[in-house]
């Protein structure tokens, strides 16, 4: 067991629909160790000089950069996903962030998918950055029927997520291909119906980044406060501690239902407390 403190950051996506500066402010007020910068449509998230000003203003470092690879950010930093990954690693270097989080390519991004593993390996070798490929989830057939609670209950009764189609190449499970570094997302394991602890073991020492969240197995990605779903969040944190985890933990939760800023701060505080309590 390691005595090293595991840093706990806040994903800037966790404060949506508030902006990037709000994430820095919450991180400073609540007591996070840093932020993971989600690069998306908001202009400040794309402006490295503006982000540097936020680092100085709030005395909160950027621990990681998340590549703009969501469907809603397909045009952020241009249309070429190869160039966007390169630019994200350069942004991380400029901001002093050690980790870059990236999703597997979409199936229709054929040129990107064909060269993805070589690009990731080349960037790590050239820059020393950790490019951690994240586990995702398939599009489930039951996402078209009923609400989250109903589909989660259907999942439990069925013993699995049922018919699904992966939009990712070669797979939504990055361990099927094999990379040097991985990001584990516990909301994504819920939606995919995966055994999170089995995935942790398969990632092994290559797991360098954790998106700490939770899910109930609904057909959509929930990103609940850890401890509010069915995922083995306590067990995963315990595993990291016992095995001397030297990577980063980032809280990535959905706070869109918060009606006020104090309520959002409370949700972020609950998630941080969970992380601190279980990562000692």
User: Where residue 248 sits, what CATH number does that domain have?
Assistant: 3.20.20.150
pLDDT digits (tens, 9 = 90+) for 262-274: 999 999 999 999 9
pTM flag (> 0.95):
no
Quick check: is 247 in a domain? yes
* pLDDT score of 139: 74
Is residue 168 one of the residues assigned to a domain? yes
- List, for residues 26-61, the tens digit of each pLDDT value: 999 999 999 999 999 999 999 999 999 999 999 999
Residue 3 lies in a domain: no
Q: What would the mean pLDDT of 111-123 be, rounded to a whole number?
A: 98
Please report whether residue 2 resides in a domain.
no
Q: Does residue 54 belong to any structural domain of this protein? A: yes
The answer to whether the CB of 175 falls within 8 A of the CB of 183 is no
pLDDT at position 144, please?
39
Could you tell me if residue 1 is inside a domain? no
Which residues are CB-neighbours of 233 under 8 A, at least 6 positions away? 186, 212, 214, 226, 227, 274, 278
Residue 245 lies in a domain: yes
Task: Report the chain's terminal Cα–Cα distance, integer Å.
Answer: 10
Q: Which residues contact 91 (CB under 8 A, 6 or more apart)?
A: 37, 39, 48, 65, 97
Q: What is the mean pLDDT of the chain?
A: 92
Q: Give a yes or no: residue 207 inside a domain.
A: yes
The pLDDT assigned to 155 comes to: 45
pLDDT tens string 129-175: 999 999 999 974 454 344 444 544 554 454 444 445 678 999 999 99
| Per-residue confidence (pLDDT) for residue 3, from 0 to 100 | 60
pLDDT tens digits for range 215-232? 999 888 999 999 999 999
Total tally of structural domains belonging to the chain: 1
Whether pLDDT at 126 is above 90:
yes
- Structural domain range at position 210: 8-279
Segment 247-256 mean pLDDT: 98
Find the mean pLDDT for residues 223-247. Answer: 98
Q: What is the pLDDT of residue 153?
A: 52
């Amino acid at each position: 067991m390691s005595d090293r403190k595991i840093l706990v950051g806040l994903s800037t996506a966790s404060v949506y629909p508030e902006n990037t500066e709000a994430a820095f402010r919450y991180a400073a007020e609540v007591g996070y160790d840093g932020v993971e910068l989600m690069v998306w449509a908001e202009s400040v998230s794309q402006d490295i000089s503006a982000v540097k000003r936020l680092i100085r203003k709030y005395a909160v470092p950027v621990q990681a950069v998340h590549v703009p690879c969501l469907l809603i950010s397909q045009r952020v930093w241009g249309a070429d996903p190869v160039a966007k990954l390169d630019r994200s690693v350069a942004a991380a270097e400029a901001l002093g962030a050690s980790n870059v989080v990236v999703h597997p390519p979409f199936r229709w991004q054929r040129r990107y998918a064909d060269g993805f593993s070589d690009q990731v390996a080349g960037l790590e070798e050239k820059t020393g950055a950790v490019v951690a490929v994240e586990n995702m989830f398939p599009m489930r057939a039951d996402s078209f029927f009923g609400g989250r609670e109903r589909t989660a209950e259907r999942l439990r009764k069925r013993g699995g997520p049922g018919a699904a189609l992966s939009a990712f190449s070669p797979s939504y499970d990055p361990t099927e291909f094999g990379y040097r570094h991985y990001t584990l997302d516990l909301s994504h394991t819920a939606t995919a119906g995966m055994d999170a602890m089995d995935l942790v073991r398969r990632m092994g020492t290559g797991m360098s980044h954790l998106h700490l969240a939770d899910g109930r197995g609904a057909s959509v990605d929930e990103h609940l406060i850890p401890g509010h779903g069915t995922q083995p969040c306590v067990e995963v944190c315990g595993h990291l501690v016992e095995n001397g985890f030297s990577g980063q933990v980032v809280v990535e939760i959905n706070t869109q239902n918060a009606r006020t800023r104090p309520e959002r701060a409370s949700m972020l505080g609950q998630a941080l407390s969970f992380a601190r309590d279980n990562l000692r």
